[in-house]
Amino acid sequence: MNHEKEQTGGAPQQGAGRDKQSASRMIFWRIVIAVVGGAIGVGVLFGIDSLLVLFGLKGLAAFLVPVIFAFYVIAALAFGFIFYLASPAIIVFFRKLSDYIEKKIDEIPTMDLVAGVIGLIVGLVIALLLSNLINLIPVPVVPVVLSAAAYVALGCLGWTIGRRRRGELKIGESSKRGQKGEKAAKTERGAPGRPKVLDTSVIIDGRIFDICKTGIVEGTIAIPNFVLQELRHVADSADSLKRNRGRRGLDILNKIQKELEIPVRVEERDYDDIAEVDAKLLKLASDLGGVVVTNDYNLNKVAAVQGVPVLNINELANAVKPVVLPGEEMEVTILKDGKEAGQGVAYLDDGTMIVVDGGKKYMNETIEVVVTSVLQTAAGRMIFAKIK
């Protein structure tokens, strides 16, 4: 019984101990904030005195030393008291600020963070060198303002450039190879190109898997998280056709990750201020210095306007089709009627349409034809022929 009483009495004592520690920490930080406030008060009074002297007034120099000292003590006590009263709100603000900063840092990929910090350091070093020249300006206050602006501007510029060019850094490459093994190390060495950012349409299309399998695609395959979310919504759609397309896209991604010797990473970066997925995709490719892989004709045009490189699967498919010249002969099977009277339509093995003049009467028969002309359109290649 005594043992049970000791156990039940331990929890309130521990809780009281934690409350005392929390109260002690709160008092400590309030005192620290008050001291900082006092220092700020001294600095404010010193700044006011400097401004008065700058405008040709005597300032505090018109008073005796004890009076000047009293002014500084009063300023320190006044600001210290104000900051002490405001310290709970200040503590809450800084807690929220630290939580926000920590959350944002967690969202930034490690390589982006490292590259950004390197760029920030370089920017601050350049600002330091410039500030030595700025300090030679003989006008009061101006050097301080220009130096502060240089530090802020060059620091932000260095951070931005560092993150955008982080694909060119090789930080941590050796340690990664040591952890991943020989196969992964070969994959890393074989990926010197720009990141290839996949959009939803090209994943659902599925041909990107076969293209990557040939080994002609260099660089890392980047799959944006917002594209994965879009695929998931499509796979959960009530429409059976959309649901099957979404599931096909997820299966293709799974095959790319498991069966191909090419680096694949999910890009967690998102842009909350951009609503459309296509706009996010172009922004991400621009930030990564990568290439958008798509078969969306409209996205291709928008990317061209914004100067973002694009690999269009449809254009690639058209480019690798065999070249057919007027005058060549071939055997084709007429499968259906053409738009014009008497025309028949056949197809090559790669899906290229052949319109045969007078071929309608040879429906479902294999005949020899002669190519008369070749028409290249945005949708693909069309061949016109006549019966031999």
CB contact set of 376 (below 8 Å; sequence gap of 6+): 318, 382
Confidence at residue 136, expressed as pLDDT on a 0 to 100 scale: 83
Distance CA 55, CA 161 (A): 42
Q: What is the mean pLDDT of residues 7-13?
A: 52
Evaluate whether 190-318 and 322-387 have a shared fold: no
Question: Which of 31-40, 194-203, 310-319, 341-350 shows the lowest per-residue confidence on average (mean pLDDT)?
Answer: 310-319
Q: Please report, for the chain, the start and end positions of each structural domain, with discontinuous segments joined by +.
A: 25-107, 111-171, 190-318, 322-387
Query: Over 80: is that where the pLDDT of 253 sits?
Result: yes
Q: Taking 70 as the threshold, does the pLDDT of residue 15 lie above it?
A: no
Q: So what's the pLDDT on residue 126?
A: 92
* Mean pLDDT, rounded, for 85-97: 89
pTM of the prediction? 0.44
- Name the more confident of 62 and 258: 258
Query: Does domain 322-387 fall into CATH 3.40.50.2300?
Result: no
Q: What is the pLDDT of residue 82?
A: 93
**Which of the residue ranges 47-51, 116-120, 171-175 has the most confident prediction, judged by mean pLDDT?**
116-120
Q: How far apart are CA 333 and CA 322, in angstroms?
A: 18
pLDDT of residue 221: 84
Cα gap 267→203, rounded to integer Å: 15
Tens digit of pLDDT for each residue in 176-207? Answer: 444 444 444 434 433 456 788 888 888 888 88
Mean pLDDT of the chain: 79
The residue ranking higher by pLDDT, 307 or 7, is: 307
> In the structure encoding, which two tokens stand for residue 158, read together?
């260095």
Q: Are 195 and 222 in contact (CB under 8 A)?
A: yes
Question: Which of 18-22, 204-208, 329-333 is predicted least confidently?
Answer: 18-22
Return the structure tokens found at 283.
Answer: 């922004």
CATH topology for 190-318 is Rossmann fold (3.40.50)
Is the pLDDT at 111 greater than 80, yes or no? no
Per-residue pLDDT band for 74 (boundaries 50, 70, 90) equals very high
d(CA 180, CA 261): 13
Kindly report which listed range (34-48, 66-80, 275-289) carries the lowest average pLDDT score: 275-289
Question: What pLDDT, on the 0 to 100 scale, is given for residue 178?
Answer: 45
Of 146 and 218, more confident: 146
The better pLDDT of the pair 138, 364 is held by 364
Q: Which residue has the higher pLDDT, 223 or 178?
A: 223
* Half-sphere exposure in the Cβ direction for 238 (13 Å, CA): 0
Closest by CA position to 199, among listed 262, 267, 273, 287: 267
| pLDDT for the residue numbered 329 | 86
Q: Say which range, 50-64, 70-84, 267-281, has the weakest mean pLDDT.
A: 50-64
Is the four-CA dihedral 104, 108, 110, 111 of positive or negative sign?
negative
Q: Is the pLDDT of residue 168 over 80?
A: no
